[in-house]
Structure 1
Amino acid sequence: MKKIGLGILILMVSLLVAAGARAYTWTYNTTFDFALAGFSDTSQTPPVPTNGPLTLTISNITGLSLPDPAAGTYEWSLEIDNFMLDFIPNVTGDELSGSNLGPFDIGTWQAPLAAQGSFNLGDVYVPEFTINYMNNSYTVGNYTVQNAVFSWELTNNGTLVNPGDSIDEIVLTLTADNLNTTINRDLTALDNLAGGANGVIDGTGIADFKVSAVPEPATVMLLGAGLLLAGIARKRFSK
C-alpha cells in the first residue's frame, strides 16, 4: 500500500508539472490614444533632439487588463495579430499598420505583476530599419542606446491597478546616456519632416495582441514540491 500511495503522489506531481509547463495566454482587443514626447527641444528652430526622458502616454484604453497568473517567475512573450496607428484624424494615408508580428520575448518577470516600477535595460542595440509614411521612406536605427532604464505606471481612473484589474492609462518612460544621438535624434528628424515639428507624436490606435507567460522550471518544481508535501502531511495526519 505504501508503494501505491507513493505512486499516486508521484503521478499527481507529474500532472501538476505538465500543467504548469503550459503557458498562460491573455488575448486583448484594444483601442487607445497615444502621445510620445520629450524627444526634442521646440524652443529652437528647427527643433533639436534632447537627452530625454522620452515619455509615451497611452490613454483612454479599452479592452486591457493586467495579467494575473499564479505567483512565480515566468518567461513572457508578446504576439501582435494586427495594429493600426492613425496620426491625423480624417486624413487618408497617414496610418501605420502591421499584422502577424512576433512572438517577441519581453523578458523574465515575477508574478504577481507590479503596476509601477523600473527595469535597467543596460546597453541596447537598435538595428537599422525603414519606416514608410505618407509615401516617404525613413531609415532609422543602427546604434546602441547606452545605460537605458525603462519605467512604467499602469492606472485606472488615476489609481495604480492590481493584477486582473482593467487598465485605462499607461505611462512608459525611457532614460539613457545618449538618447539625443540615438532614438531622440531619429524621432526629432521624423517629427520635423512629417509631424509638424511640435515635439509630440500622437494619435489614436487599435491593437489585437496576445501576451503569454511560461513558468520557469523552478516555479513548476516549487508547485510540484508543494503538492507532494501536502500529500505527505495529509497522510501523516490521517493516521
Structure 2
Amino acid sequence: MKKYIAIFATVGTLLTSGCATVSTMSPTTTTSSVDTTKNSYALMTVTLKNAYHTSYQPSPIVVNLERGAADSRADRLNFKFDDQAATAGDSGNHYFIRLPLAPGKYVMRGITGQSGIFPFHGMFFAPLHEVVEVKPNSIVYLGHIDATVVERKDGELRAGPVIPLIDQAATGFSGGTWDISVSDRFDNDVTAFKKDFPALSNASIERDVLPAWDKQKATEWWANH
C-alpha cells in the first residue's frame, strides 16, 4: 500500500503547500506556437464518469507519470489539470491532456482526483500503468481514455483508498472499481486539439495510441502497493 498511499500524499502536498511545484499542461489556448526543440508533446483525451454513485462525478487533479526508476522527486511528474477545453455532459466529464515532456521513456501511472459534495469528499486513482516513449522533436497522440467507476466485486481493485471510511464509501470510490477502455479517435480528437489550441493548428501530430487497458496488470500493481 505504500506507493498507493504515496500518490494521495503527493497530491495532498500539492494542494496544501505553497512551495510545492506542479507541472502545467501545455500548450494553452493562448499559446501562439510550440517549440519541439525544447520539449516534445504527448496529447490525449479522457472522459471520467462515476456510474456507481452518480452524485459524485470524478474531477481530475493530476496526471501521474514516472521517469526511469522514479527514485528522485524530479522523476515523479505530476501534470495539473486545467479548465481549458474541458466539457461536462451525460456521458461524463471530458478533458484534453497536453503533456510537454523531454524525450525518453515514461510510465503513465494514472490520474488522481477527487469528488465532493458537502459533507463528503473522496479521492480516486484511475490506474493506467502504460509505457510511453517520447521521441525528440515530436507531437504524439496517445488516444482516448474512457474511465468509469462501477460497483466493485470481491478481489477487484478499488477506485480509491478505504480511508477515510465514510467519505470514500459515500463517494463510491472505496466500494467501486474502474472500467477503463482505450480507443483511437485520432481524426476527431486532433481536429478538436487544433481548433481549441492555436499553437497546434499547423502542427504535424503522429499517432501512437496506447495499448488496450490491462485490468489484471492494474489489479496486481494495486495489490502490491
TM score, norm. by length of structure 1 = 0.28
Higher relative contact order (CA 8 A, sep 6+): 1
- Which is richer in strand? 1
Larger Rg: 1
